[in-house]
A and B are shown apart, each in its own frame.
Chain A
Amino acid sequence: DAGVTQSPTHLIKTRGQHVTLRCSPISGHKSVSWYQQVLGQGPQFIFQYYEKEERGRGNFPDRFSARQFPNYSSELNVNALLLGDSALYLCASSFDPGETQYFGPGTRLLVL
């Protein structure tokens, strides 16, 4: 079975631009969580979605938004990019919000 997939793998943007990151969960998993990992730190929770509804939000500004589609895939959107948004963005899927999470390879975003 395929694991969690994310696209694109790498992305370069400039300040003020908008970005959309995509995630496809493991087949059968209905919950998707997004994390931001800055170099040298552990992942920081951004959002959790389950059955297309937001179930949790981390301490991130409103420039960050996400949604989950009927096929349980998800998008993370970041508006008005700042240099500090440069990071590895990780998607994790689980059968439901309380279950063990499995991570994708991440999307590395560089904001210039």
Chain B
Amino acid sequence: GQQLNQSPQSMFIQEGEDVSMNCTSSSIFNTWLWYKQDPGEGPVLLIALYKAGELTSNGRLTAQFGITRKDSFLNISASIPSDVGIYFCAGQLISGTYKYIFGTGTRLKVLA
């Protein structure tokens, strides 16, 4: 199935470090969402972006909607152990179906 390119695939970081991950596509999207998923659970919405160039924060999380509308990034500042999990981006196509295409995921592990 169709998936967005998300990088890095996985990363180990020290507690307190900042983290960056991004999502790219060849398609143009009108909405970008970022989710976090813990094992065995459904994705939890972190940040929603609706306009090209938009920069939005949610606590220690900051995400941006790329100017080209084909990419987005998520930053986590001062990581803590509970940031461990899999982070997914999702882009909504500009089409009649409004379906979301998900990224391949970034697995984050924080070392205390």
A interface residues with partner B (beta carbon < 8 Å):
4, 33, 35, 41-45, 48, 55-59, 88, 90, 97-98, 100-106, 108
* Minimum CB distance partner of A98 in chain B: B98
* Minimum CB distance partner of A104 in chain B: B42
A44 vs B103: C-alpha distance in the bound complex, in angstroms? 10
> Which residues of the partner chain A approach B48 to less than 8 Å between Cβ atoms?
100
Instruction: Please state if A42 and B88 are interface contacts (CB–CB under 8 Å).
Output: yes
Interface centre among B1, B40, B103 (most CB of A within 10 A): B1
**8 A-B contacts, Cβ less than 8 Å apart?**
A42-B102, A48-B97, A56-B97, A58-B1, A98-B98, A100-B48, A101-B33, A101-B90
Q: How far is the CB of A86 from chain B (nearest CB, A)?
A: 14
> Which residues of the partner chain A approach B1 to less than 8 Å between Cβ atoms?
44-45, 58-59
